[in-house]
Structure 1
Amino acid sequence: MTRLVYFAWVRERIGKGEEDIDLPADVTTGAALLGYLKTLGDGYAHALEHESVIRIAINQEHVEHDEPIAGAREIALFPPMTGG
């Protein structure tokens, strides 16, 4: 079981802030995770339609989309951040 946490408009479009999910064995990277989640329904597909802009954090550390996710306790997905 992996805990997924969603932020900002990703959370709004999916309709939940977090969930625990059993990932298929072939979902081994952040990019594969995004692709898999898009198959789970319209809210996921809408939230992740521009997956290249989605930021990923594994165990609270930002990672690239090709980063392996094996052993992750928590994976967070969020849109680009603006600072100020």
Structure 2
Amino acid sequence: MKLTIKYFASIREKLGMAQEIVDIDATQITIDGLRNRLMERGPNAAEALDIQRPVRVAVNHEMVANNFVVRQDSEIAFFPPVTGG
């Protein structure tokens, strides 16, 4: 299944890319499952997408929980929580 993945803020900086298209060998996968697969790609990915790190996720422009099931041709966005002041 092909997915478009976008990275924002510190996650983008750590990974050195803003967007990529990945091909996952599954018909569906949860956000946690996707994060785990992406983290396996190396130490920068493991640090940027660590499950213990607060990371917000949107699928097709809607905020979702970590157990949300992603399907073919979805757009997934990973970004750290925004703080302001």
Which range, TM-score by smaller chain? 0.7 to 0.9
Which residues of structure 2 form unaligned runs of 5+? none
CA contact (8 A) 1:5 1:19 kept: yes
Q: Which runs of 4+ in 1 moved over 4 A?
A: none
SS of the aligned residue for 1:82 comes to coil
Deviations 1:23-79 (A, max 9, x none): 121761001011111001121011012445111100010000001111352100001
Return the structure number with greater helix share.
1
How far apart, in 2, do the equivalents of 1:46 and 1:77 lie?
13
Tell me how many residue pairs correspond in the alignment.
Answer: 84
Percentage identity across aligned positions? 36
Normalising to structure 2: TM-score of the pair?
0.87
- TM, length-normalised to structure 1: 0.88
Check the 8 A contact 2:32/2:51 in 1, yes or no.
Answer: no
Where in structure 1 are there 5+ consecutive unaligned residues? Answer: none
Which structure has the highest strand share of the two? Answer: 2
